[in-house]
Amino acid sequence: MFRHLPAAALLSPLLFCTFPAFAEPEKEEPAVEDGQEIVVLGTRRTGADPTLSSGPVTERMSQSSRSIERDLLVAAGTYRLSDALELVSGVSNQNNRGGFLDNFAIRGFLGTPDGGAEYYVDGFLANRGMGPPRDPSTVERIELLKGPAGALFGDVDPGGRVNIVSKTPGFTPSASAVLTYGSFNTRRVELDANMPISRTFAGRIVVAGEDSDGWRDHVTLSRRTVAPSLTWRPSDAFRLTYVGEITRFDAPFDRGIPALNGDANALPRSRFYGEPNDGVTRFRNERHQLTALADLGDSWSLNAGIAWRTGSLKGFSSDQSRLVGGTTLWRQRRSRDFVVDDLSARIELSGQIGAHRLSFGAKGYLLDYAERWMRRNPTAAAPYAIDIFNPVYGGAPPVLLPFTNNHEKRWSGTLYVQDMWEVSDRLTLTGGVRLDAYRQRIHNNNTGATGRAVDQPVNFRAGARYKLDERIALHANWGESFLLNSGTDRFGQGFAPERGKGYELGVTGAWAGIDVAVTWFDIRKQGILTNDPTDPNFLAPVGNLRSRGIEADASIKLAPHWQIVANYAWTHARTDDASFATDRVLDVPEHAGTLFVLGRFQDATGRGLSLSAGASYMGDRAGAIDGSGLVLPDYVKAKAAVEYAFSPALGLRLEADNLFDARYAQSSYSPVWIFPGAPRTVRASLRITL
């Protein structure tokens, strides 16, 4: 099918000739609405679907949060989720699980090394158990809701939440195609077709395909995404939206390179230490979601939805295990067979009573997650080794033995209520309470043992916002968090839930074309999983992790052409667990920042030039939590792009990431699993819009 995508891009506008334009064109919203809501980086279209996004209470009280809109995502060349999150302070890369995981830490708090940080897609958790790397073609915007006020449909976390909002139909016919060719023989096609079917019904489909030889030796990439969506809007008082997504992601499992004599960048970044004969690991993911929004009158509304997701990850790998004698790398043979089935639902009633905006919600999910591993550890008699300076592939793989074979089931239900009280024109208070009732069962198929957990924790949140004047406001938020952990430790036992408390204090300013936020935060959590210092093949909880710091974000529009996005974060994240050799948190820098500049010079007909450039700084980070003392050195990575629109229908873009070809370690899991940053990558794209 993807062989014919370029031709389909040119023919797809013919589909629209049978559909008249039933509705007025959708308008663009300003970047910021009087400083009252979450700061919008870029331009948001008014046709954005409110059933998929954060609610008005969340947006009003999330003063340290940001929404990165589609036009800025494209301008910044965000091909991975990590690229987009560089535009907001306080985010750092984490272990990418062999290239099959979008993983990050917010304000120093990381997800599990294997499962990754939790993120939402269209208001539903999208990677419970596991989730594939996100494809940029389906994304309308990315909301990073930070702090305890980052409540999304009732969820509360003192660090923050990421919500990715998908493209959905509008009522103006349109079609576009983007054809890209880049370094390492990368070929990519994106098609996006939107069509009104009647005055009340519209459909959209996004299709993307990408193939690459890859910048790592023997590590190719193939991914396919098909994302259909439908919207039914019989009146201004009701909207029903379906969003689907089918993803295929195929690549060899790649653990990166080992450190040599404590140097994370000593070995060539392109060198592969796995086994090409292992073939590719295959990730399959399918998501279907139905959401509805009903205006009940008198300022009351009902927002509800249901989502079903299923996925699988299967393949073989030869992973670095131990560096012996400074030249010989012992390897561990593994196979993976993971399957997830996740059904979620939610409903929220919200409305106004006097000065109070109330929200009452219920949500729940059923998770069925099977995690089956086989492995064979190396020994002196059978090291399954490879030379780090002269790797020779094709060695006979050892016979695999049973390792982990867990079947996890969860049943979780949540009730919550929150209130935003407009005490005066200047002062706004919020408060919320949440009850989580859950049952978790993990059955070990190897031993027959079954672990169970049942509880009904109650958590609270509170916040305040005070306007000093029409432009400057102070905010304070406090909240508690609760999160179930998956998996078992090296003794086959399950983990207690993750619990946390945190607060933030900040000041924001909004002037014509300028938005600035400075925030202090202090968060403590316990039960966070990381790699076990005794055996990094397993997970273990740290006793307590405390992170505190300062974040600054700025968005400046220098009319009529220039926009600047800048951020800086100082994050002091430390653990108090004596079983770990260091108190530093894996992959979390103390200092990080980004500066991105965009200039647009189009005339009234849509013709003209666009320029962009940016640089990101990442300070040094702990590269391991064992006794090696490995530190990943700091680095600066730059990017630049130039785009020329020959007309509103045709544009050409040339971009370069890691412009000066900096050598850096992007993230690490252990001294032998360091994922290097990509070299200079150049891409050229032809954009056709109708």
| pLDDT tens figures, 133-178 | 999 999 999 988 887 755 445 566 678 888 999 999 999 999 999 9
In a domain, 3, yes or no: no
Confidence of residue 61 (pLDDT cuts 50, 70, 90): low
Neighbour tally for 599: CB within 10 Å: 15
Q: What percent of the chain has pLDDT over 70?
A: 90
> Can you give the pLDDT at residue 611?
96
- The winner for highest mean pLDDT among 71-75, 76-80, 201-205 is 201-205
Which of 226-230, 380-384, 470-474, 543-547 shows the lowest per-residue confidence on average (mean pLDDT)? 543-547
Is the pLDDT confidence value at 204 over 70?
yes
> Can you give the pLDDT at residue 48?
67
Q: What is the mean pLDDT of residues 232-244?
A: 95
Tokens of 66: 């940001």
Is the pLDDT confidence value at 76 over 50?
yes
Which of 403-417, 495-509, 548-562, 600-614 shows the lowest per-residue confidence on average (mean pLDDT)? 495-509
> Can you give the pLDDT at residue 32?
36
DSSP state of 492: S
3-state helix/strand/coil string of 531-593? ECCCCCCCEEECCCEEEEEEEEEEEEEECCCEEEEEEEEEEEEEECCCCCCCCECECCCCEEE
In a domain, 128, yes or no: yes
DSSP readout, 150-216? --BTTB--SSEEEEEEEP---SS-EEEEEEEEEGGGEEEEEEEEEEE-SSSEEEEEEEEEEEE--SS
> Can you give the pLDDT at residue 63?
74
DSSP readout, 40-82? EES--BTT--GGGS--HHHHHH-TT-EEEEHHHHHHTT--SHH
155 versus 623: the higher-pLDDT residue is 623
> Can you give the pLDDT at residue 498?
82
Rounded Cα gap, residues 456 and 458, in angstroms: 7
CB proximity list for 354: less than 8 A, separation 6 or greater: none
Rounded Cα gap, residues 408 and 291, in angstroms: 27
Is the pLDDT confidence value at 96 over 50?
yes
**φ, ψ dihedrals at 57, nearest 5°:** -65, -45
In a domain, 18, yes or no: no
Confidence of residue 484 (pLDDT cuts 50, 70, 90): confident
Mean model confidence pLDDT for the chain:
88
Rounded Cα gap, residues 77 and 82, in angstroms: 11
- The winner for highest mean pLDDT among 113-127, 209-223, 432-446, 580-594 is 209-223
pTM of the model: 0.90
In a domain, 282, yes or no: yes
85 versus 580: the higher-pLDDT residue is 85
Cβ–Cβ under 8 Å, residues 281 and 250? yes
> Can you give the pLDDT at residue 11?
32
- Amino acid at residue number 357: R
> Can you give the pLDDT at residue 37?
64
> Can you give the pLDDT at residue 390?
95
Looking at the structure of the chain, the number of domains it has is: 1
Is the pLDDT confidence value at 27 over 60?
no
Rounded Cα gap, residues 324 and 343, in angstroms: 46
Is the pLDDT confidence value at 259 over 70?
yes
> Can you give the pLDDT at residue 18?
32
Is the pLDDT confidence value at 22 over 70?
no
Tokens of 326: 């400074």
In a domain, 250, yes or no: yes
> Can you give the pLDDT at residue 153?
54
45 versus 9: the higher-pLDDT residue is 45
In a domain, 24, yes or no: no
Q: What is the mean pLDDT of residues 8-35?
A: 35
Confidence of residue 19 (pLDDT cuts 50, 70, 90): very low
Q: What is the mean pLDDT of residues 419-426?
A: 94
> Can you give the pLDDT at residue 15?
32
CATH number of the domain that residue 164 is part of:
2.40.170.20
Q: What is the mean pLDDT of residues 345-370?
A: 94
Domain that residue 652 falls in: 56-689
> Can you give the pLDDT at residue 480?
87
> Can you give the pLDDT at residue 481?
83
> Can you give the pLDDT at residue 489?
75
> Can you give the pLDDT at residue 150?
56
Is the pLDDT confidence value at 328 over 80?
yes
Rounded Cα gap, residues 193 and 204, in angstroms: 6
In a domain, 49, yes or no: no
Unique residue bearing structure tokens 């629209």: 16
> Can you give the pLDDT at residue 545?
87
Is the pLDDT confidence value at 615 over 60?
yes
Q: CA separation (Å) from 53 to 45, 56, 154, 166, 431?
A: 13, 9, 13, 10, 20
Is the pLDDT confidence value at 33 over 50?
no
In a domain, 472, yes or no: yes
> Can you give the pLDDT at residue 20?
32
204 versus 449: the higher-pLDDT residue is 204
Is the pLDDT confidence value at 8 over 60?
no
